[in-house]
Amino acid sequence: MTDQEFEILDELYFVTSFEELQEKLGMEEPELREALRGLISMNYIKCLFPDQDTEVPFDPDHFAREGHLYFFLATKEGLLTHNLR
């Protein structure tokens, strides 16, 4: 896990929107999207859309169009990995 991914997971102990992540971490949108894709592929975070209570499977095309409206939350696996580092 990269330092960047670690920092993202650090923010996802609670549901957080894409925009909040971007603001807190000061990352450019393309950079944040790429890091989130990596965490999703490792099953460390889950995607919520269109609201904070609805989990959706990751769809790269939809994420490319609507990713700025997503919410994210660390999975149990993601939290365990984050805490072991």
**How many whole angstroms separate alpha carbon 23 and alpha carbon 20?**
5
pLDDT at residue number 23: 97
**Assigned CATH topology for domain 3-84:** Arc Repressor Mutant, subunit A (1.10.10)
Query: Which sequence spans correspond to the domains of the chain?
Result: 3-84
**What is the per-residue pLDDT across 4-39, written as a single tens digit (0 to 9) for each?**
999 999 999 999 999 999 999 999 999 999 999 999
**How many whole angstroms separate alpha carbon 60 and alpha carbon 14?**
23
Query: Residues 72, 79: contact at Cβ < 8 Å?
Result: no
The residue that leads in pLDDT, 1 or 15, is 15
Query: Residues 16, 71: contact at Cβ < 8 Å?
Result: yes
Dihedral of alpha carbons 18, 21, 26, 28, sign: negative
pLDDT at 1 over 90: no
